[in-house]
């Protein structure tokens, strides 16, 4: 069968690649075209556009780049229509993908959505639209099943695909030696988007002089080069590594993490963390008026209580980050977070989300 997938971010590229691998295992004749990234490209098929040309963060950034977004959307619609797939598989990235879903539905193309839009966070009435334009929804957060049921929509809970990636991961035993990491490590994970990195990495790096006994390691995104990152790094106890997040988390004693998927990854590796976020002033003001959830990190959302500290906007500063990082490096704060992580791992369940989703998609297509 022919599959067209759309992923617009680094995390979507990761989950898309695992789903493609699972679909190939179930369907020996699987053919792919997609919007995605290098990981999906490694699974074969044809990459129509790389996610690095698509990811814009926040309301203000979206408005400033609206022309580019609309151009990408038009090109994606044309590509889907030309390919005429057996199914369109949309992966997260709701601002873009819900428009593509609506277009596909109008043109008689079946639509499966993997990793639900966060409609439970704001404007919950969007579920009514999703019911009209999405044929099958596959959720990765257990509480989403009950949420959709309240709106009369049946969805499938498939588990979390991060568990798939972690299960496949084999650590590099020579990682410390390769990067000359002789002391305990604090990981800095500033995200994969340009706006995130430029807003958060300086704040993260500002605390390094308070912890001279540690090696700080920046987990860099492959879509940027070393020169780009070096402009932010001013001290000697900072190392830069590309595409090595899991190896970094394996050796890290603690981490400072940009709000997003990496917060859950860090927790699943049982690395105590401080979560940070900075957005454009207008974007954040709009979000605070609209968003109806208590937390921004996946760890706290899944646990439905504060497990990790979230430092947002003006709270994201050298003093607060230093204080919270000290709290989780040693003592009771660290012990409590590690105990909470054990409970989180129990809630998350086992690996296999990609395989379960692939089977459900193919069963649906056969019907």
Tens-place pLDDT, residues 180-210 = 999 999 999 999 888 899 999 999 999 999 9
Among 64-78, 108-122, 152-166, 241-255, the minimum mean pLDDT is found in: 64-78
Q: What percent of the chain has pLDDT over 90?
A: 77
Mean pLDDT of 80-87: 98
pLDDT, residue 164, reads 84
Pick the CATH number of 2-159+352-366 from 3.10.20.310, 3.40.190.10, 3.30.230.10, 3.40.50.2000: 3.40.50.2000
The domain 172-348 is classified under which CATH number: 3.40.50.2000, 3.30.450.20, 3.30.950.10, 3.30.43.10?
A: 3.40.50.2000
Instruction: Indicate whether 286 pLDDT > 60.
Output: no
Give the pLDDT confidence score for residue 287 in this predicted structure: 47
Of the ranges 39-43, 216-220, 270-274, 277-281, which one carries the lowest mean pLDDT score? 277-281
Q: Copy the structure tokens of residue 308.
A: 């990790």
Comma-separated ranges of CATH 3.40.50.2000 domains in the chain:
2-159+352-366, 172-348
Mean pLDDT of the chain: 91
pTM confidence score: 0.77
The pLDDT of 254-283, averaged and rounded, is 90
């Amino acid at each position: 069968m022919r599959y067209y997938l759309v992923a617009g971010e680094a995390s979507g590229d990761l989950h898309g690649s695992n789903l493609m691998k699972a679909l190939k295992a179930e369907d020996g004749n699987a053919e792919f075209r997609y919007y995605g990234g290098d990981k999906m490209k490694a699974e074969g098929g044809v990459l129509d556009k790389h996610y690095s040309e698509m990811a814009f963060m926040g309301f203000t950034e979206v408005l400033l780049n609206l022309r580019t977004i609309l151009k990408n959307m038009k090109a994606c619609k044309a590509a889907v229509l030309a390919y005429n797939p057996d199914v369109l598989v949309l992966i997260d990235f709701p601002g873009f993908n819900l428009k593509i879903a609506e277009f596909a539905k109008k043109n008689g193309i079946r639509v499966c959505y993997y990793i639900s839009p966060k409609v439970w966070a704001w404007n919950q009435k969007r579920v009514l639209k999703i019911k009209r334009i999405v044929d099958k929804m596959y959720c990765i957060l257990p509480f989403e099943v009950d949420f959709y049921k309240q709106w009369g929509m049946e969805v499938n809970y498939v588990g979390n695909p991060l568990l798939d990636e972690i299960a496949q991961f084999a650590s590099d035993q020579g990682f410390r030696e390769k990067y000359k990491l002789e002391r305990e490590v604090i990981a800095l994970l500033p995200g994969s988007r340009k706006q995130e990195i430029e807003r958060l990495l300086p704040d993260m790096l500002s605390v390094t002089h308070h912890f001279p006994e540690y090696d700080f390691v920046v987990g860099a995104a492959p879509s940027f080069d070393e020169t780009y990152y070096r402009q932010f790094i001013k001290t000697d106890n900072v190392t830069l590594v590309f595409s090595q997040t899991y190896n970094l988390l394996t050796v890290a004693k603690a981490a400072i993490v940009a709000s997003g998927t990496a917060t859950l990854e860090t927790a699943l590796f049982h690395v105590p963390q401080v979560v940070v976020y900075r957005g454009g002033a207008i974007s954040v003001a709009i979000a605070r008026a609209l968003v109806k959830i208590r937390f921004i990190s996946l760890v706290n959302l899944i646990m439905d209580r504060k497990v990790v500290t979230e430092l947002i906007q003006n709270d994201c500063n050298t003093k607060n980050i230093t204080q919270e990082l000290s709290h989780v490096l040693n003592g009771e704060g660290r012990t409590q977070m590690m105990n909470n992580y054990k409970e989180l791992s129990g809630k998350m369940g086992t690996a296999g989300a990609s395989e379960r989703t692939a089977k459900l998609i193919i069963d649906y297509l056969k019907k």
